[in-house]
Structure 1
Amino acid sequence: MSTPIVCVVGKSNVGKTTLVEKLLRELKKRDYKVGTIKHDVHGFDVDKPGKDTWKHAQAGADSVIISSPYRVAMIKKVEKEWTLDELIKLHHDMDLIICEGFKRSNKPKIEIVRRERSTENICSPEELLAIASDMDIKVEGVTTYGINDAVGLVDLIVEKIIKR
């Protein structure tokens, strides 16, 4: 059985990270084990110059893993961007995966629409689990929640996505 997943999507600077944080806090209050996947179209670097793992990568390692009693992290060079389905396999032991971004994926989505960024949503109704907004948006078959209604959104996620 694959891990349940929901994507939080929306235009740039609309509040995706803020909503993901609120959803995570509410899900953790309910004792769910939750993983996240963040999409970054610009590329990123998590290793710090001068650190041992950075030195390993600079010396030519294609994959670097660092481990401690509390965490494990891997930095891996890839030939192409991994698909969301490939990334999901890394979170096989979670009750839920929340993705930030991946608006073109075929996964259920909560879209954030904020008045100051745009008054129109970017996803089609059949892609949407819900809309989170500071406006009253009408999309047939899709419920709109307040942009800060983490409790209501998590209730929906539990009912429709997690189902346990």
Structure 2
Amino acid sequence: MVPVVSIVGQRSNSGKTTLLVKLLAEAKRRGWRVAAVKHDVHGFEMDKPGKDTWRFAQAGADVVVISSPEKIAMIEKVQEERTLEQVLERIRDVDLIFTEGYKHGNQPRIEVFRSEVHQELLSKPEQLIAIASDVRFELGVPCFDLDDAQGICDFLANRYGLK
């Protein structure tokens, strides 16, 4: 099983994406293959109107794939939202998967807490594997500085046996 770590926080602008970008950069520096899965409750559009793939979808294709020597992307229309587990089943050939925005999921969590934005933690202590914060917590899990991507990746490497 590929380890999955959810980066969670109470609301938008809590610093989740900022931390995740730092973690991804550090993971890549270490040579890890990583995936990032973002949950968007509002829906999204990633295809540009007028482009071929957009035109295929407009014409009725339920699945549109674009492939090049450097990357591949697939857009699939769904009748109902897929669970995180269903999304994760599609990811292959990575050492670690980060998720963001799945605060109601049951994956191991690193909670982002900024004292200027938050009053209390979102997660119960038993849901957490670590905290990234500008204040210290004594909950029996490591508490890292918000900028300590290296320390968090060291922790993840140790926890999941990553090289």
* TM-score interval, normalised by the smaller of the two chains: over 0.9
Measure how far apart 1:113 and its partner are.
0.6
SS of equivalent to 1:148:
coil
Determine whether 1:115 maps to 2:115: yes
String of CA shifts for 1:22-78, please: whole Å, max 9, x gaps: 111111111111111011111100001001111111111111011111111111000
C-alpha RMSD over aligned residues: 1.2
Q: Count how many residue pairs are aligned between Structure 1 and Structure 2.
A: 162
In structure 2, what residue type is equivalent to 1:143?
P
Specify the alignment match of 1:136 in structure 2.
136
Alpha carbons 2:112, 2:131 under 8 Å: kept: yes
The TM-score, its normalising length taken from structure 1, stands at 0.94
Distance in 1 of aligned mates of 2:77 and 2:126? 35
Specify the alignment match of 2:16 in structure 1.
16
In structure 2, what residue type is equivalent to 1:62?
D
Determine whether 1:147 maps to 2:146: yes
Alpha carbons 2:95, 2:162 under 8 Å: kept: no
5+ residue gaps, structure 1, are: none
Specify the alignment match of 1:74 in structure 2.
74
Percent identity between the aligned chains?
49
Measure how far apart 1:163 and its partner are.
4.7
5+ residue gaps, structure 2, are: none
In structure 1, what residue type is equivalent to 2:17?
T
